[in-house]
Amino acid sequence: MTFHEIKRESTINIAVLALGGQGGGVLVDWIVDMAEHAHWRVQATSVAGVAQRTGATIYYIELLPPAPKSSGTSAREPVMALTPVPGEVDVVIAAELMEAGRAVERGFVTKSRTTLIASSHRTYAIEEKMSPSNGVLDASSVIQILGENAKALLLFDMQTLATEHRSVISSTLFGALLASKALPFSSEEFEAAIQRAGISVDSSIKALRAAATKGHSPLVNDKDSQDVFISKARELPKSSSNPELNRLLEHIRNTFAESAWGMIGEGIERLIDFQDLRYAQSYLSHLERLQTAQFCADQHTDPKFMIEAARYCARAMSYDDIIRVADLKTRASRLSRIRGELKASSKEIVQIEEYFHPGLLEVCGMCPKGIGSFVLESPKLSKWLDKKINKGRRIQTHTVWGYLTLRILASLKGMRRSSLRHADEMHTLEAWLSRVERQLGHSHDLALQTVLCQRLIKGYSDTHKRGSGKFALLMQASDALEHRENGAQLLYELRELALKEVDTQPLQQSMAKLGIGLK
């Protein structure tokens, strides 16, 4: 809707959906201030969402243009709504893609009336994060729905654009609103509202201008925004400054199909970072072993199988432990990212407090295999140590002592191969590889499904324990289903059930129905 389409005494109704920390209130203040300085009558309300990303705050604004002086109606006080009414919203501004989808679901977006302005980036909801599997909702289908239901759609990654200009997303949303021409105010009036607010004026105006330029009409869906949600493996580097790594890269090219190079390359990079080059070489040995078994059975190599084998073998070998967590939390790149997100200057001190809750298993897992096993096999000693160890700890990594504590833990990386945790992980890995190798001889599909079961193992502490328990059950099922005609399909269904359910009981019940006994 443009200004010329507004009938006398009709309002422009705007709904803003923003999450905590995205500056939704600031955006509303800018709109209200801009309209009031143009002598419009304005009413703004808000309904707060729930914390921890289970819902956005909904801001609602109604703008009424000033009545002509000759109309004699200046004394009339308008009656404005307090909340958006489905089918009666002219502009919807959503600071996150799924919130735009929720606006459509609520009926705020109508094909005949509504201009929809939304950022294509994602801030994941609690339900998406809680899923043991990939709980991320399908972004492409939401984008399609937005285009089908809005009169005009302005969609691109406004969060990234704001970050590039050291601002927050409210600035780029305001710039997109300017580009949409949904309000009858000039760019000078938009910028003046930011200046009067006096909050991060320079960066906010730069972000506004960038968004206004990117989002200039015609109002169409930015097709490239869909690419953000497609994960692609990077290409294998052509060369490296390290001669040993160069030989490894050449070995990959000479041994594996080109379709798998990218994923294998990412696996090599991850494992060198996790441990060292020798560890990455053992990774390639595992993959060669599976490729040989596959070729002997089928006289060819399935690209999909090798890609998935490369992915999950690398994940299995780069397990999360306290050493890894301590290393990641004290990296310079992480500290720089935090400072950037907070927009802290070089003169400002940023305080960071990390929370750890190690259990006895995690601590014993770092110990040499003999010592760790001795402690865990001694009930009295385990009970006494658990009382001392199993409690939350807050470590301030902006202090010398806190930072050094984590760096000392990270320095144990060189001792990892002799640890109890590493021995356990390698035992599990070897059993998994042997099972897949055996299954390739008579059922390629079942072998692939067994490979994919590795995705259940992730994280550390209780998360790792739950995933490993489900994985162990699925490996029992995999063995029992080896000679069933539909074994691959049944294992797929069991894995999907394990990924969906938090508890193991539904999985155990399904296995029992299939006649698979529990060990």
Query: What's the pLDDT at 68?
Result: 66
C-alpha count within 13 angstroms, C-beta hemisphere, residue 355 = 2
The total domain count for the chain is: 1
> What mean pLDDT is predicted for residues 344-350?
84
Q: 271: closest CA among 304, 237, 312?
A: 312
- Greatest mean pLDDT among 59-68, 388-397, 466-475: 466-475
Q: Is the pLDDT of residue 207 over 70?
A: yes
Query: What's the pLDDT at 389?
Result: 86
> What mean pLDDT is predicted for residues 102-124?
90
Taking the CA atoms of the chain, what radius of gyration do you get in angstroms? 29
Q: Do the domain assignments include residue 351?
A: no
| Ramachandran angles phi, psi of 67, nearest 5° | -75, 140
Q: Do the domain assignments include residue 326?
A: no
Q: Is the pLDDT of residue 462 over 80?
A: no
Q: Do the domain assignments include residue 395?
A: no
245-249, 269-273, 281-285, 450-454: range with lowest mean pLDDT:
245-249
For the beta sheet containing 57-64, the strands, ordered from the edge strand earlier in sequence to the opposite edge, are 41-47, 57-64, 12-18, 91-94, 115-119, 152-156
Query: What's the pLDDT at 234?
Result: 65
Q: Do the domain assignments include residue 317?
A: no
Q: Is the pLDDT of residue 233 over 80?
A: no
Query: What's the pLDDT at 55?
Result: 60
- Greatest mean pLDDT among 208-217, 354-363, 385-394, 437-446: 437-446
48-62, 110-124, 502-516: range with lowest mean pLDDT:
48-62
- Confidence (pTM): 0.66
Q: Is the pLDDT of residue 518 over 80?
A: no
Instruction: Categorize the per-residue pLDDT at 10 as very low, low, confident or very high, splitting at 50, 70 and 90.
Output: confident
Q: Rounded mean pLDDT of the chain?
A: 85
The answer to whether the beta carbons of residues 110 and 149 sit under 8 Å apart is yes
The parent domain of residue 223 ranges over 3-229
Q: Do the domain assignments include residue 280?
A: no
Q: Is the pLDDT of residue 22 over 80?
A: no
Percent of the chain surpassing pLDDT 90 = 48
Q: Do the domain assignments include residue 235?
A: no
DSSP for 76-104, please give it: PPP---SS--TT--SEEEESSHHHHHHHH
> What mean pLDDT is predicted for residues 461-479?
89
> What mean pLDDT is predicted for residues 37-48?
88
CATH of the domain at 153: 3.40.920.10
Query: What's the pLDDT at 458?
Result: 83
Q: Is the pLDDT of residue 351 over 80?
A: yes
Q: Is the pLDDT of residue 110 over 50?
A: yes
- The residues near 359 (Cβ < 8 Å, ≥ 6 apart) are 386, 389, 390, 461
Q: Do the domain assignments include residue 268?
A: no
C-alpha count within 13 angstroms, C-beta hemisphere, residue 399 = 8
Q: Do the domain assignments include residue 446?
A: no
